[in-house]
Amino acid sequence: MMLAFAYLGLCFCIALLGTNRKFGYWGYFFSSLFLTPMIGIIVLLGSDKRAEQPKKCPKCAHSLSSGS
């Protein structure tokens, strides 16, 4: 029983580390849950961070520059 909680805890930690990465929270959680947490860590370390979406004006949908 404790082994199952440790396994889920590792999957949860990997998922938290992957929230701002390419696959997101659920992608890393399920990959570490279905494969193994060790494979989940390898996938996490091999992935890129998410590209930030350009901010847009809520009224006219014009792209806002990050400098102003």
Per-residue pLDDT tens digits for 32-68: 999 999 998 998 888 888 777 777 777 777 777 655 4
* Confidence at residue 23, expressed as pLDDT on a 0 to 100 scale: 87
In a domain, 15, yes or no: yes
In a domain, 52, yes or no: no
How confident is the model over 16-25, as pLDDT tens digits? Answer: 998 888 888 9
CA–CA dist 6, 10 (Å, integer): 6
* Count of domains observed in the chain: 1
Q: What is the pTM of this model?
A: 0.68
Q: CA 4, 9, 42 angle in degrees (round to 5)?
A: 105
In a domain, 26, yes or no: yes
Q: CA 34, 38, 41 angle in degrees (round to 5)?
A: 95
In a domain, 57, yes or no: no
* Confidence at residue 48, expressed as pLDDT on a 0 to 100 scale: 81
* Confidence at residue 3, expressed as pLDDT on a 0 to 100 scale: 92
CA–CA dist 5, 28 (Å, integer): 17
